[in-house]
Chain A
Amino acid sequence: MSPSDYLYLGRPTGPIYLRVRAKGLWAGMLLALAALMLAGLALGAGALELSHAQVWQALLGEGPARLGAVVREWRLPRVVMALVVGGALGMSGAIFQSLIRNPLGSPDVIGFNTGAYTGALVTIILLQGSYFEIATGALVGGLAAALLVYLLAYRRGIQGFRLIIVGIAISAMLAAFNTWLMISASLESAMTAALWGAGSLNGITWDKALPSALFSLVAMMLTLLLGRRMALLEMGDDSASALGVPAERTRLQLMSLGVVLTAAATAAAGPISFIALAAPQIAQRLSRSHGTALLCAFWVGALLLLLADYCAQHLFAPRQLPVGIVTVSIGGLYLVWLLFRQSRLASS
């Protein structure tokens, strides 16, 4: 590696001058391209097969009105949400793995997902709520759990391992409560809850998608702004403070953003597991750089969820699986493969 591995954007004397690792930038662009191509494919596939030209026409609002409705009103929101939700999960995973310096880190650590499931279960089983009520219930549950974990773990600052333990304890209690709800409920409610709990993009529309997409995009922008501080925080609180990064405050900001990203994703699609865990790891292996890690994590997450959703829709067609089940299986197999590959590298 040499200085020529960097790309410079802007003028050295101008108001804007940036330096990025070329490899990271290329990786990010390739990932984005792959995701967009897959998105095009997903827009064309389904019970009604469309050619690329037809998809393009439909997107531009030309061609038959019926096709336009199928593409713009049914398939497009689903594809867009797969990108946004996947990207949000990838980014929040990157945040949590960086914060607790642990590749197993994910928003689950602070009990968010279990709390969201509790909220959704309560809304489904006790209140028989509608889609939006379930989403609200999940948000409230998740945020309350995350807040509780943070407060209980706070003792003269937040420490990674104390956070993990308190998170495990609160998650265990909530999970026990969830189990109780599940066995007390009628079979029908329990099935509805389990479907929600698996995480799914089935039946998503623009109405359902927009609020969470907006929240995600704002949180993503803010996260990118904090990206450099996050990278400095990885070197330890001492080094980060010495470089002028207020450690405790930055950590709280980043954690809040991670929670907002997960919350927005969960509200739209339910708890989709494994993207938050796997996307940052894959991104880091692809880009091998730190400045672009967040963007790469976004694109890897988006690509993964889109791919998983494509499989969930078409693998057992006409039956649709919840996408969360596909991500969990793919993610688990990927992890096993990673372990094998690493042991091969280590022995060679």
Chain B
Amino acid sequence: MTPARLSLAQPVPDEATPHYTEPATVRLRGQHLRLGYGDRVICPQLDVRIPDGSFTVIVGPNGCGKSTLLRSLCRLITPQAGQVYLDGRQIRDYPARTVAQQLGLLPQSATAPDGISVLDLVSRGRYPHQSLLRQWSPQDEIAVQTAMQATGVADLAGRAVDELSGGQRQRVWVAMALAQETPLLLLDEPTTYLDIAHQIELLELFRHLNRHTGRTLIAVLHDLNHACRYATHLIAMREGRIVAEGAPGDVVTADMVEQVFGLPCLVMADPVSHTPMVIPRGKVHMA
């Protein structure tokens, strides 16, 4: 059986076609990055470019350096060598607040202070846009309301974050990141701990944001099929290196998946979105 190379030449519904062409501009990129913690080097040498207006998804096995790469792109870790550039300037040269106006992050682990209300937490996303004397503005109000409506947490505004369910809480954190209103938004495993319906709901929201507000999204996802369906640009990593990069339809092949994850599989067209769909073979081999 030959690996099914997916052809996107056939006509597909408009909804599923990524409106993605090679962009003229790349605001965020990393050059010759060496990343790691202390003596432990995770990515020895890495070049990465995040196309503007893309929904870029980074995939790869556990420990391949996905999160490390994402964290280096938003200054949470300093590269041991190489540089991250934002708009052509080294990102570490900007004041922290200037970066925070351009680049948002939904971190993997965040702690809600005890008893804080949803509204208060989402409002905190506005911090980079405020000053000591102007701690609130009509724009802040609009941004917070819009973010809460987009994520469907407007009804929860007065509730305490620690009373919410896991899915609701995750959406509150997303709302906080959205309220920051940054052109670039980094998402570190945003769908972890959510049930399948909430995962899809959230991913649909991200796609909507990406399409209709023109924001560049960069996410680390575990589910390869979700990545294939929602990404416009896929980065596959293994052992600290980028193995493949490009539109999912071009990049995702059975060979690639086996090379990255060590998982024998079939790649077929998703009957709904017509994007690649990865089906693990497991131990049951077909005749």
Contacts and interface: CB of A to CB of B under 8 A. Distances in A.
A297 to B, nearest CB: 14
B107 to A, nearest CB: 4
B273 interface: no
Given A1-B157, A289-B120, A290-B113, A244 B136 contact: no
A317 interface: no
B88 interface: no
Chain B interface size, under 10 / 10 to 19 / 20 to 34 / 35 or more: 35 or more
A235 B112 contact: yes
B111 A235 contact: yes
A245 interface: yes
Contacts of B125: 243
A8 interface: yes
Interface in B103-134: 103-105, 107-117, 119-120, 124-125, 127-128, 132-134
A48 interface: no
A156 interface: yes
Interface string B63-95: 000000001001110000000000000000001
B16 interface: no
B136 A234 contact: no
Contacts of B23: none
Contacts of A17: 133-137
Contacts of A238: 71, 76, 105, 107-110
A231 B74 CA distance: 21
B158 interface: yes
B188 to A, nearest CB: 8
B96 interface: yes
Nearest to B140: A19
Chain A interface size, under 10 / 10 to 19 / 20 to 34 / 35 or more: 35 or more
A244 B94 CA distance: 11
Query: Could you say which of A3, A8, A235 has the most chain B C-beta atoms within 10 Å of its C-beta?
Result: A235
Contact of B137 (A12, A237, A284): A12
Given A17-B136, A18-B136, A235 B114 contact: no
A231 B116 CA distance: 11
A8 B127 contact: no
B109 A243 contact: no
A236 B137 contact: no
Contacts of A246: 96
Interface string A187-203: 00000000000000000
Nearest to A237: B76
Contact of A16 (B109, B116, B134): B134
A243 B180 contact: yes
B101 interface: yes
Interface string A231-257: 110111111011111100000000000
Nearest to B176: A239
A244 B158 contact: no
Given A232-B127, A241-B76, A246-B96, A1 B158 contact: yes
B269 interface: no
Contacts of A10: 133
Given A238-B107, A244-B127, A288 B115 contact: yes
Interface string B7-47: 00000000000000000000000000000001000000000
Contact of B96 (A2, A21, A236, A241): A241
A15 B127 CA distance: 17
A132 to B, nearest CB: 37
A19 B135 contact: yes
B127 A243 contact: yes
Contacts of B133: 10, 15-18
A5 B158 CA distance: 10
A245 B158 contact: no
B262 to A, nearest CB: 30
B124 A244 contact: no
Contacts of A236: 107, 109-111
B249 to A, nearest CB: 32
Contacts of A19: 135-136
A234 B114 CA distance: 10
Contacts of A234: 111, 113
Contacts of A243: 100, 124-125, 127-128, 180
Given A1-B158, A232-B124, A239 B119 contact: no
B150 interface: no
B178 to A, nearest CB: 12
B138 interface: yes
A228 B135 contact: yes
Contact of A156 (B38, B76, B116, B138): B38
13 contacts: A12-B138, A19-B136, A228-B135, A235-B113, A236-B110, A238-B76, A242-B74, A242-B103, A242-B105, A242-B107, A244-B127, A246-B96, A288-B115
Please name the 4 residue pairs, one residue from A and one from B, whose CB atoms are nearest each other, closest first.
A244-B100, A1-B158, A238-B107, A242-B105
